[in-house]
Copies of this chain bind each other. A is one copy, B any other.
Amino acid sequence: MANPIAELVGLLSRLPGIGERTAARLAYHVLDQPRDYAEALGRSLVELHARVRRCQRCANYTAENLCEVCLDPRRDDGLVCVVARPPDVAALERGQSFRGRYYVLHALLAPLDGVGPEALPLAPLIERVKGGELREVIVATPLSVEGEATALFLAQQLRPLGVRCTRIASGLPHGGELEFSDQITLARAMDGRQEL
């Protein structure tokens, strides 16, 4: 019979940032807690993929056919923010300043890894642009090589259709020190300077 603690430690240590030591600490902690907790956490994981779907409109994760943002009648239908992954939506929603809709790609262009334009699910977005309902598409893919390549490609596809395409700003983060910023960030902060 296999060792159930070793088995759990092995599975936990496949999580990002969780080494074998931390995994062991977590496993023993769970054993120290009431049995209900381990069972609730376990069921939540067993059922996770079955319960989480992609929103039929924006592809964000949801338990329903449409996500909360898409169902909210108070959001601006003319403004769509394109992001790479569902946690990006969660991060922007924490800010509570964006009041438009989202569009989650679940992918980024990565030619070196063989991920080309066909992996980007753009057809529904292009339909909405053609339908004339969108005023502006804000491309909020990450400021990485893949994110930038994807942003450029999106602009090439969407701008000819007559919609405004914008990119989130790149520059020093809040509280950022020039001394500790990398050269690319500094150059972008300079290029993106605005009137005071």
Contact = CB atoms under 8 A, between A and B. Distances in A.
Contacts of A95: none
Interface string A57-71: 000010110000000
Copy count, this protein chain: 2
Contacts of A42: 41-48
Interface residues of A, number: 46
A190 to B, nearest CB: 31
A48 B22 contact: no
Nearest to A22: B17
A124 interface: no
A48 B38 contact: yes
Contact of A44 (B11, B18, B86): B11
Interface string A1-41: 11111011001101111100010111111110001011111
Interface string A105-124: 00000000000000000000
B38 A8 contact: no
A188 interface: no
B47 A87 contact: no
B25 A12 contact: no
B16 A52 contact: no
Contact of A41 (B3, B12, B22, B24): B12
Given A26-B16, A29-B15, A48-B30, A4 B63 contact: yes
Task: Please name the 4 residue pairs, one residue from A and one from B, whose CB atoms are nearest each other, closest first.
Answer: A42-B45, A42-B46, A4-B51, A35-B49
Given A14-B37, A15-B30, A16-B29, 6 more contacts: A4-B51, A11-B40, A15-B26, A28-B85, A31-B49, A38-B48
